[in-house]
Chains A and B, each alone.
Chain A
Amino acid sequence: MPTYEKILLKNMERPGYTGSLTDYGHAGGYSALEKVLKAMSPQDVIETIKKSGLRGRGGAGFPTGVKWSFIPKDHPGPKYLCCNADESEPGTFKDRQLIENDPHAILEGIAIACFAIGAQTAYIYIRGEFFSGAKILNEAIAEAYRAGFLGKNILASGFSLDIYLHRGAGAYICGEETALLESIEGKRGKPRSKPPFPATHGLYQRPTVVNNVETMMNVPHIINRGSEWFAAIGAGKSTGTRIFSVSGPVKRPGNYEVPLGITFREMIYEHAGGMRSDKQLKAIIPGGASAAFFTPDQLDVKMDFESVAAAGSMLGSGGVTVMDEDTCMVWAAMNLLEFFHHESCGKCTPCREGSAWLLQILQRIEAGEGRLDDLHALESLSHKIEGMTVCAFGDAEVAPILSTIKHFRAEYEAHIEERRCPFRSNVVLAMAH
């Protein structure tokens, strides 16, 4: 099995590493912040991040340095940075591990980013269910204040920063950056119509950067080791490593940090140890629940932004969900739609009405009450949602439907023709039902 240098998971895999400020300090923590404050200008930092090719790890993969450079420099009044720790994408559990095990690495990244964009206030918006993560982060923030890495005049540089932890209340949509901003402002978590974008009209209508936890954590390493070093890792425009959360019937599910660009085959069969009970692989969700399904013939697609997109899906949040031969694809699509229907915020018509309608059809098919025109209805309704919604949620909710119909049409047809789910006889899945 190929092995790679770990960057983000390195500290926490040290024996006895607790994530405390002392431990983080011993591991060289906050040296990047010191370097930035003493020797670099905000513009230097932005250029370094731009050159490194670092791209957002939350889902969209937007170049981080470019995002920072959109923040107007001469803006009077406050600017903000919001760190998106609302990790809610089904099948994704990397940020949680980072938060719980190396919180200071995130804080250091945030501090550097704030220095670069000229923000003196940052919010970490953490998923409500991350009770221990919130506790750990709050303790880390308090430690950092005491040590002078946060607060007024950090390391006598004249730069000041306050970080506030804001806990979500359980809505998936609040991971969408503009809904996240609404939520911090105390409003209902609903996405804003864009433009304007957060870079100019973000939190409280001020210039704002929203970055994912993993993105933030890469920043100190790039500062310490240079943009060339970072850019050399990975493949093409997908630089650096990425933590993939592998779940499903594999032998070793878990988080794996690998350079961008290894194949799905390597990830599933080498790192995750292959299929449990040596069953046949049937489908892969390559990048979180919002990504279109892959089939086994796509195992050699490379795990980088461009390759996955070219193959018709997206790298998304890095959640790789594996399904074996016993999994009913109609059930899988229905399961995902139940999630999306439950989480649709209800703001815009296609998503609000469409998610319920699609789910009703899928539930009928799965229950053996499908009609011949249902497949056409699923496809045409999905196309009425795609690209028509306020945020990317609409595209996300139709991806599992369109891709399962594309790859597994016969399975849908079998449900309709046999008037039952062909997988119902399977004991294991009957339990799952």
Chain B
Amino acid sequence: MDGMIKLTFNGQEIEVKKGTLLIEAAKVAGAELPHFCYHPKLKYDANCRMCIVEIAKIPKLQTACSTVAAEGMVVRSDIPRVQEAQNGVMAFILGNHPLDCPECDQGGECQLQDFAHRHSPTVGNFGEEKRVFEKEYFGPLIEKEMNRCVSCLRCVRYCDEVIDSNALGSIDRGSITEIGGFSHHPLDCEFCGGCIQICPVGALTSRASMYDYRTWQVKKTNTICTYCGDGCQLSLETIDDNVIRVSSELGIGRNEGDLCARGFFGYDFVNHKERLIRPQVLQKGRRMEVTWEWALNKAAVELKAIKEKYGPEAIGGIISSHCTNEEIYLFQKLMREVIGTPHVDSGARYGYINAARALSSVFGTTRLARYEDIVNADLILSFAGDMAETNPICAIKIKEAVRKKGARLIAIDSYNSGRDTYKSHLPHIAHRHLEVKMGTEGWVILGLLKVLDQKTSCGPLPSFETIERESGIGEAALREVAGLYAGAQRGVLILGRAITRNQNGYQNVLNLADLAIAAGQVGKDGAGILALAEENNELGAVEMGGVSEYLPGLIPAKAGGKTLVEMIDAAERGEIKALYIIGENPVRSLPQKKVKEAFQNLHLLICQELFLTETAELSDIVFSAVSFAEKDGRYTNQEGEIQKVRKAIEPVGGSKPDWMIFSLLADKLGSPFHYKNTDEIWKEVVLNMPPSWPALSKGAIASSVTSYMKRERKIIIPSDDSPPLQGGVRGGHLFDFQVGQSLYHSGKLSTYASGLNTIISKEAVFIHPDDAEPLGLVEGEIVNISLPVGAIQAPVAFSKRISRGTLFFPEHFSLEIKKGLPLTIDPSTHVPYGDRGVVTLSKISVAVSTKNLTIS
């Protein structure tokens, strides 16, 4: 076969792909060579010397991990010479090892245990005093035990090569080499947990589950992470219905075994003590726990009453895009068919709908690029400077493309290209970074389009001068970037929340689609467009009909269905009398909307939740739902990959999966569903999908593009939506302000995860140190932020990633700040935009602090 070579391994003739390392070739011959430093994700380092083999005609033994198999090679690992050498290395490794397996969390899954079992005599011959490293505290999440370390440097290499975080190094030299930070400080990194997972021994383990288990006691369930749209496979490791630990298997899933802080350390919200374990009802102003029967009857009776009195359109439903496909499908079926209302919406409305609608209207599908395309692209055009925070695993694919495979990355965003120590940042590794004024990505897109689409089939475009004035990006840079993108062999375009969750989002995605068409980067192998999803099932929510404009299968719904914001407005006006909200929390997400006041007009508010959220607190009925760990189903990630979610533990307390609650409610409403499990729902879903779903053929995409190009299109020129600051504050300094996502959290859910809370558990406003310095700010100092409406106080934190003249505020804690930011609604998709604005920052006056000092 082409590209294959033949060699002899332990007397057996084998055939492997050209370029295969001997350590992998050995597996073909059924031999596992002992190893510590080798890992398929990393460049070989050949430092542990365990995988030594004899190669005919080479006098010295060679390391199999660093030797590429060659035609005709004769290799042996089963001869005494090799085995003695391996046993010798093992003797060196075990010499100083503490042999504390009984209390080591790695016990049972330790490569040293496994290989020592094969390669060491039963009696040790090390008769000297053992080396003992001083115990060093490595922070609240990672336990470091250097006496167990085999110095394979897998952790150091992973942290550099895969994560680009460089938080770990090897410190000191020779026999006292240890792993650590350069000045012996607790870790301050991305906390992806990769070092723990890649450590072959018990040198690095998780403090979050320290001494909680023996590896053979845990039950492992492969499922999909619930935090973002990347769609990572992970294993929930459980004992007696408690999630003890998360792990992932090398090469498995779309993430190929890589995880981020949220995935690795964010699991213990599942067994959180504040979980709702029984339904609750609000009876005469008092919240009380009731039986399911009671709660369901009450819900059914009141829904029926409202439907009879005001008609079905007085009822609306909103579902979280954290729910499974089956649940979202069933929910819209319940709302549309059983109750008969068109008002169905989901969390996809917060921005992903912009991408889903725009891309499917142009291409007929959103499935336009996969992670493999990113990894193999020669050029990546990214409108997601914060991807390492919002979609960390997708960012790993970009790092792999750029750092391992030499792809060019062009990043266009309002971030600084500087990076913070020990944290990766995509603009930092970009070959070309266009740092735009916040909110002006849309202008840059028009500029790029203007370069490539000479015929301006989209109508007149603004002049380069206007574009430069608005965005700060001149014609030369636009021409260069557009030229690189159009000239690429395999150009992949990535758009993130800066596009989808901000002003003019729908139009901007359409313009990006035009740009990709003009650059010739769709419809050919390896090129494409990927819209990042912030929640795990946003694409699923759209495809399952969980939005007002689509029935399942992206089939247009009858007009008249209200979107999320419209439902809130209708509630305020008294048109909608009842809302059924699954896992969404609009009271918190849309503080500008006075949601609380609107909901007080409702006759009935039903909420289905894990925790008593701000919205649940207002609800007449709260159904206690389950987390992803307690249910089966399917999520569709941002690439369009449909993946199985598997139940790892029984529902906590008396909670129930959402699909089951919908079924029970349908029963009570007199239209039983009869589904025994989620697979039965899925069968029905598949039957309801168009024949071309899920993947669309290249030909179908091309004809969709052709018909799109024939349609009359009009480019909407972006406008500056932030209203001018009223008055301003004397002594303050103007900043562009952005509320956004932190790597360590996802919405509110992650703030129930104790592991993540040890990293960040409080709000802070991030500022570039060079902006802070002239203001005389010190890190942690409380500053005053005057918003267009009102003001807040918050501590400042410094980050070199923040663009000069801008401030960043993570969205996961107090959201009081959003109340003061302007809210605009997308004219096409009704997406509410309320994350940006212009603010003034000022030091809290010296007089105040002096006064405080005097008091203290």
- Asked if residues A349 and B174 are in contact (CB atoms below 8 Å), the reply is no
A346-B63 CB under 8 A given contacts A353-B92, A388-B89: no
The residues of B that contact A355 with a CB separation of less than 8 Å are 174-175
Judge if B234 is at the interface, Cβ distance under 8 Å: no
The contact string, 1 if C-beta is below 8 Å from chain A, for chain B 116-138, is 00000000011111010000000
- Asked if residues A357 and B126 are in contact (CB atoms below 8 Å), the reply is yes
The residues of B that contact A345 with a CB separation of less than 8 Å are 173-174
The contact string, 1 if C-beta is below 8 Å from chain A, for chain B 154-181, is 0000000000000000101111110000
Judge if A58 is at the interface, Cβ distance under 8 Å: no
Give the residue of B50, B93, B129 whose beta carbon is less than 8 angstroms from that of A353.
Answer: B93
Judge if B821 is at the interface, Cβ distance under 8 Å: no
Give the residue of B44, B174, B176 whose beta carbon is less than 8 angstroms from that of A193.
Answer: B44
Judge if B150 is at the interface, Cβ distance under 8 Å: yes
- Which of B52, B89, B172 has its CB near the most chain A CB atoms (within 10 A)? B89
A388-B47 CB under 8 A given contacts A346-B177, A353-B96: no
Q: Which of A61-69, A245-253, A268-276, A336-344 has 4 or more CB atoms under 8 Å from chain B?
A: A336-344
Judge if B61 is at the interface, Cβ distance under 8 Å: yes
CA distance A388 to B93 in the complex (A): 14
- Asked if residues A388 and B66 are in contact (CB atoms below 8 Å), the reply is no
Judge if B612 is at the interface, Cβ distance under 8 Å: no
Residue of B nearest to A394 (CB): B49
- Asked if residues B95 and A343 are in contact (CB atoms below 8 Å), the reply is no
Interface residues in B788-813 by Cβ distance below 8 A to A read none
CA distance A348 to B50 in the complex (A): 10
- Asked if residues A389 and B49 are in contact (CB atoms below 8 Å), the reply is yes
The residues of A that contact B177 with a CB separation of less than 8 Å are 346, 352
Give the residue of B85, B125, B172 whose beta carbon is less than 8 angstroms from that of A388.
Answer: B85
The residues of B that contact A171 with a CB separation of less than 8 Å are 173
- Asked if residues A387 and B175 are in contact (CB atoms below 8 Å), the reply is no
- Asked if residues A344 and B92 are in contact (CB atoms below 8 Å), the reply is no
Judge if B91 is at the interface, Cβ distance under 8 Å: yes
The residues of A that contact B173 with a CB separation of less than 8 Å are 171, 344-346
The residues of A that contact B66 with a CB separation of less than 8 Å are 193
The residues of A that contact B150 with a CB separation of less than 8 Å are 349
Residue of A nearest to B169 (CB): A188
Give the residue of A348, A360, A383 whose beta carbon is less than 8 angstroms from that of B128.
Answer: A360
The residues of B that contact A389 with a CB separation of less than 8 Å are 49
The contact string, 1 if C-beta is below 8 Å from chain A, for chain B 240-265, is 00000000000000000000000000
The residues of B that contact A188 with a CB separation of less than 8 Å are 170
The contact string, 1 if C-beta is below 8 Å from chain B, for chain A 268-293, is 00000000000000000000000000
CA distance A214 to B478 in the complex (A): 55
For the residues of B in contact with A, the DSSP-based class is loop
Judge if B587 is at the interface, Cβ distance under 8 Å: no
Shortest distance from the beta carbon of B83 to any chain A beta carbon, whole Å = 12
CA distance A383 to B84 in the complex (A): 10
Judge if A384 is at the interface, Cβ distance under 8 Å: yes
Give the residue of A193, A342, A350 whose beta carbon is less than 8 angstroms from that of B88.
Answer: A350
- Asked if residues A349 and B85 are in contact (CB atoms below 8 Å), the reply is no
- Asked if residues A356 and B174 are in contact (CB atoms below 8 Å), the reply is yes
CA distance A48 to B307 in the complex (A): 101
Judge if A390 is at the interface, Cβ distance under 8 Å: yes
Give the residue of B45, B60, B92, B172 whose beta carbon is less than 8 angstroms from that of A357.
Answer: B92
Interface residues in B21-54 by Cβ distance below 8 A to A read 44-50, 52
CA distance A342 to B45 in the complex (A): 22
Residue of B nearest to A345 (CB): B173
The residues of A that contact B131 with a CB separation of less than 8 Å are 356
Chain B interface bracket (under 10, 10 to 19, 20 to 34, 35 or more): 35 or more
Give the residue of A343, A349, A356 whose beta carbon is less than 8 angstroms from that of B49.
Answer: A349
Residue of A nearest to B48 (CB): A349
Judge if B151 is at the interface, Cβ distance under 8 Å: yes
The residues of B that contact A344 with a CB separation of less than 8 Å are 173-175
- Asked if residues B128 and A384 are in contact (CB atoms below 8 Å), the reply is no
CA distance A350 to B49 in the complex (A): 8
A346-B170 CB under 8 A given contacts A193-B46, A384-B89, A388-B49: yes
The residues of A that contact B44 with a CB separation of less than 8 Å are 193
The residues of A that contact B91 with a CB separation of less than 8 Å are 384
Shortest distance from the beta carbon of B24 to any chain A beta carbon, whole Å = 17
Shortest distance from the beta carbon of B112 to any chain A beta carbon, whole Å = 12
CA distance A44 to B536 in the complex (A): 67
Interface residues in A349-365 by Cβ distance below 8 A to B read 349-350, 352-357, 360-361, 364
- Asked if residues A341 and B175 are in contact (CB atoms below 8 Å), the reply is yes
- Asked if residues A341 and B49 are in contact (CB atoms below 8 Å), the reply is no
- Asked if residues A388 and B52 are in contact (CB atoms below 8 Å), the reply is yes
CA distance A353 to B94 in the complex (A): 10
CA distance A188 to B60 in the complex (A): 26
- Asked if residues B174 and A388 are in contact (CB atoms below 8 Å), the reply is no
Interface residues in B169-209 by Cβ distance below 8 A to A read 170, 172-177
A353-B175 CB under 8 A given contacts A193-B45, A346-B151, A388-B88: yes
The contact string, 1 if C-beta is below 8 Å from chain B, for chain A 385-421, is 0011110000000000000000000000000000000
The residues of B that contact A35 with a CB separation of less than 8 Å are none
Give the residue of B60, B125, B176 whose beta carbon is less than 8 angstroms from that of A387.
Answer: B60
Judge if A371 is at the interface, Cβ distance under 8 Å: yes
CA distance A353 to B152 in the complex (A): 13
- Asked if residues A384 and B85 are in contact (CB atoms below 8 Å), the reply is yes
- Asked if residues B48 and A357 are in contact (CB atoms below 8 Å), the reply is no
- Asked if residues B129 and A360 are in contact (CB atoms below 8 Å), the reply is yes
Shortest distance from the beta carbon of A68 to any chain B beta carbon, whole Å = 25
The residues of B that contact A353 with a CB separation of less than 8 Å are 92-93, 95-96, 175
Residue of A nearest to B67 (CB): A195
The contact string, 1 if C-beta is below 8 Å from chain A, for chain B 134-145, is 000000000000
- Asked if residues A388 and B175 are in contact (CB atoms below 8 Å), the reply is no
The residues of B that contact A388 with a CB separation of less than 8 Å are 49, 52, 61, 85, 88-89
The residues of B that contact A342 with a CB separation of less than 8 Å are 174
CA distance A356 to B92 in the complex (A): 10
Judge if A377 is at the interface, Cβ distance under 8 Å: yes
The residues of A that contact B48 with a CB separation of less than 8 Å are 348-349
A390-B174 CB under 8 A given contacts A349-B93, A353-B92, A384-B92: no
A357-B95 CB under 8 A given contacts A344-B174, A352-B175, A390-B47: yes
Residue of B nearest to A193 (CB): B46
- Asked if residues B174 and A350 are in contact (CB atoms below 8 Å), the reply is no
Judge if A10 is at the interface, Cβ distance under 8 Å: no
Judge if A347 is at the interface, Cβ distance under 8 Å: yes
A350-B127 CB under 8 A given contacts A171-B173, A357-B95, A388-B52: no
- Asked if residues B175 and A384 are in contact (CB atoms below 8 Å), the reply is no
- Asked if residues A361 and B128 are in contact (CB atoms below 8 Å), the reply is yes
Residue of A nearest to B93 (CB): A349
Q: A343-B174, A349-B150, A350-B92 are in contact. List 13 more A-B contacts (CB 8 A).
A: A193-B46, A346-B176, A348-B47, A348-B48, A350-B49, A353-B93, A354-B92, A355-B175, A356-B96, A357-B128, A383-B88, A388-B52, A388-B85
Pairs of residues from A and B, 10 with the lowest C-beta to C-beta distance, nearest first: A384-B88, A346-B177, A353-B92, A356-B175, A193-B46, A344-B174, A360-B128, A346-B174, A193-B66, A348-B47
**What would be 18 A-B contacts, judged by CB atoms less than 8 Å apart?**
A193-B47, A344-B174, A345-B173, A346-B151, A346-B177, A347-B45, A349-B93, A350-B88, A353-B93, A357-B126, A360-B128, A361-B128, A371-B127, A377-B127, A387-B61, A388-B49, A389-B49, A390-B47
Tell me the A residues contacting B by CB distance below 8 Å: 171, 188, 193, 341-350, 352-357, 360-361, 364, 371, 377, 383-384, 387-390
Tell me the B residues contacting A by CB distance below 8 Å: 44-50, 52, 60-61, 63, 66, 85, 88-89, 91-93, 95-96, 125-129, 131, 150-151, 170, 172-177
